[in-house]
Structure 1
Amino acid sequence: MSLIDKTRARRSFERAAADYDSVAVLQREIADRMLERLDYVRLEPARILDLGTGTGYAVDRLQRRYRRARVLALDFAHGMLLQARRRGHWMRRPACICADAERLPLADASVDLIVSNATFQWCNDLLGTFGECLRILRPGGLFMFTTFGPDTLRELRDAWSQVDAHSHVSPFLDMHDIGDTLTEARFTDTVMDAERLTLTYARVHDLMRDLKVLGAHNATEQRPRALTGRARIAALADAYELHRSAGRLPASYEVIYGHAWAPLQRPVSGGVAIALSAIGGRKQAR
């Protein structure tokens, strides 16, 4: 698995922050679909973490759903948080935290609900990241997220493979591997599923422009360092034409949804488990 260059990724999202919402159609759609799943659980969280909040799109919906909850918005790009801090009612702005999802600056058992939309593909240590999420969740707390699977941007990856042998598309983990990692991190009642969504474009240049505006550049450490010249872009466009259907160029996304619960028992030294009380009002509809 290629590692993500976090410095490059952060800089890309810093530059993208002001215009991100103008092209984030897919990101808003999958956030809506994820948050709709909260209809099937009964939870009364006092504190919610929107992990990888971006411009804070989910904040408004979370505050409307949980009117008594305090929403924390965390992102590693300060520019994104400048957008997110405007969300919510003027008397209930989110508390914005600039930090990396792999090292959360929050106390143990301090959050009742974590939601995260399209963030974990930017993490290098997924097990450690999930461990951090479990650490800050209170017993019986809920963890709900989306990320992207390996079929994401498969047309773009295929077209680039016909141009050169470099890595041009960030790597994405398989749904089953993510589920196994949740189990290894000691989450319980894990549920994983996936769906495929497709955006279409008139030209490959339009897709590349959207990815640039989103800040979703290739941030792998194995990426080519030289500038992409016109000749290679033209070759990419020609290769991508093989995927044209009904007059449009598809860009496929494999969207992975996951949710899991923090256990009501936490292991301690010596292998002894201690029982802890759940957060108020938690009931799971199954």
Structure 2
Amino acid sequence: MHTDQPSQPSSEGGQQPSVVAAHDVLPLDEQAALHQRRRLLQSRVVPWLHEEVASRMAERLQAIKRVPAHVLNSSPALGGGHAQLLAAYPDAQHWWWEASPALRAQTELPLAPGWWARWRGASTAHWRNPASPAAELLWSNMELHWCALQGQRMKQWQEAVAVGGFVMFSTIGPDSFKELRQLWQERGWGAVAPDWVDMHDLGDAMVRAGFEDPVMDQEAIRLTWSRPEGLLRDLRALGGNTAPARSAGLRTPRWRDMVLQALEQLRGGDGRLALTLEVVYGHAFKGQPRLTVAAETAVSLEHMRSMVRRTTPR
């Protein structure tokens, strides 16, 4: 598999809330998503694409001047990035957090010594607990597109970040695998993937979750393969189809042969099969808590002075 990267910049865990903004919900089969993530964890290897995106996202840390004392990596087993965060912030305390109890339990199972040492970074991080300090940086790599309630996940991030701290995340954008979408649509095979959220809507969701000054951009990556079997193998290593509108029923060898034949239509002038992947990046800061405004609001002078003292430059 080969990649080309033309950049295009631009300005399950927890209880469900009773009211969720429509824009903060990703149409996703949550049970299928949990099943696929648990399957990926069994390999004890961070998915190949996640490792690549983690390296690209780490380069963006240079734009943030604040040096965090506490770094929180959300969903680290599948998102990766621990080595990059250690290199960027060697003096910080590093913590991990996994929203899904099932995934955390599976992550904590005994693992092969070599893999365990590589992933844990020789015990350089600890699992977050209620007594853990708030993070000046929360890192989430290739996690958000697995979440149906994306607004709820962002709110969880916001609650874990210190005032003046920031979140940096990456996820899959709606133009990803558009070539496959067309093939599946032409043949009436149902949806090949969920309708992932546009970066502008993700930025709006960050504001609703309580973050400030969100900056969003995206990158289109061209993935190519010499054979359709390799394409299917690599896509399976990223997960599976979690779209609610996917075609139901078990797949047969005949179905696989049909898919392999259809994929041949993806060959370009260079003779290689090609797919587009859109990666969305975002970061935002956590500002001072806002006062609830009523018809009449009383604020003590001491409280106002305290808020001013807590204000830190970015």
Counting only pairs closer than 5 Å after superposition, residues 93-132 of structure 1 correspond to structure 2 as 93-96=124-127, 110-132=134-156
5+ residue gaps in structure 2? 1-24
Q: Provide the C-alpha distance between the structure 2 equivalents of 1:231 and 1:162, rounded to a whole number of angstroms.
A: 18
- Checking the alignment, whether the CA contact within 8 Å between 1:244 and 1:250 is kept in structure 2 is yes
- What is the alpha-carbon root mean square deviation over aligned residues? 2.8
- Checking the alignment, whether the CA contact within 8 Å between 2:50 and 2:78 is kept in structure 1 is no
Match of 2:194 in 1: 170
1:112-138: per-residue Cα shift (whole Å, max 9, x none)? 111111110111112222122112211
- Checking the alignment, whether the CA contact within 8 Å between 1:160 and 1:236 is kept in structure 2 is no
Say if 1:205 and 1:96 are closer, same or farther in 2 by CA, change over 3 A: farther
Q: Provide the C-alpha distance between the structure 1 equivalents of 2:198 and 2:187, rounded to a whole number of angstroms.
A: 26
Q: Provide the C-alpha distance between the structure 2 equivalents of 1:2 and 1:211, rounded to a whole number of angstroms.
A: 21
Offset of residue 49 of structure 1: 1.3
Match of 1:250 in 2: 274
**Counterpart pick for 1:69 among 92, 102, 108:** 92
Which segment drifts farther, 170-179 or 217-226?
217-226
- Checking the alignment, whether the CA contact within 8 Å between 2:139 and 2:168 is kept in structure 1 is yes
Aligned residue identity for 1:94: A
Aligned residue identity for 2:57: M
The answer to whether structure 1 residue 6 and structure 2 residue 30 are counterparts is yes
Q: Provide the C-alpha distance between the structure 2 equivalents of 1:25 and 1:213, rounded to a whole number of angstroms.
A: 8
Q: Provide the C-alpha distance between the structure 2 equivalents of 1:116 and 1:189, rounded to a whole number of angstroms.
A: 18
Say if 1:268 and 1:176 are closer, same or farther in 2 by CA, change over 3 A: same
- Checking the alignment, whether the CA contact within 8 Å between 2:70 and 2:135 is kept in structure 1 is yes
- Checking the alignment, whether the CA contact within 8 Å between 1:85 and 1:94 is kept in structure 2 is no
Match of 2:20 in 1: none
Q: Provide the C-alpha distance between the structure 2 equivalents of 1:268 and 1:94, rounded to a whole number of angstroms.
A: 35
1:149-174: per-residue Cα shift (whole Å, max 9, x none)? 11101122222222224222132111
Q: Provide the C-alpha distance between the structure 2 equivalents of 1:200 and 1:106, rounded to a whole number of angstroms.
A: 45
Aligned residue identity for 1:201: W
Match of 1:159 in 2: 183
Match of 1:234 in 2: 257
Aligned residues: 270
Say if 1:107 and 1:179 are closer, same or farther in 2 by CA, change over 3 A: farther
Offset of residue 88 of structure 1: 4.8
Match of 1:52 in 2: 75
Which segment drifts farther, 36-45 or 144-153?
36-45
Q: Provide the C-alpha distance between the structure 1 equivalents of 2:86 and 2:175, rounded to a whole number of angstroms.
A: 33
Match of 1:204 in 2: 228
> Where has structure 1 moved over 6 Å in runs of 4 or more?
none
Say if 1:225 and 1:32 are closer, same or farther in 2 by CA, change over 3 A: same
Aligned residue identity for 2:245: Q
Match of 1:100 in 2: none
Match of 1:186 in 2: 210
Say if 1:175 and 1:207 are closer, same or farther in 2 by CA, change over 3 A: same
Offset of residue 195 of structure 1: 1.1
Match of 1:101 in 2: none
Q: Provide the C-alpha distance between the structure 1 equivalents of 2:131 and 2:156, rounded to a whole number of angstroms.
A: 10
Offset of residue 253 of structure 1: 0.5
Give secondary structure in 1 for the equivalent of 2:187: coil
Aligned residue identity for 1:210: D
So what's the TM-score if we normalise by structure 1? 0.83
Structure index of larger Rg = 2
Offset of residue 38 of structure 1: 1.0
- Checking the alignment, whether the CA contact within 8 Å between 1:56 and 1:81 is kept in structure 2 is no
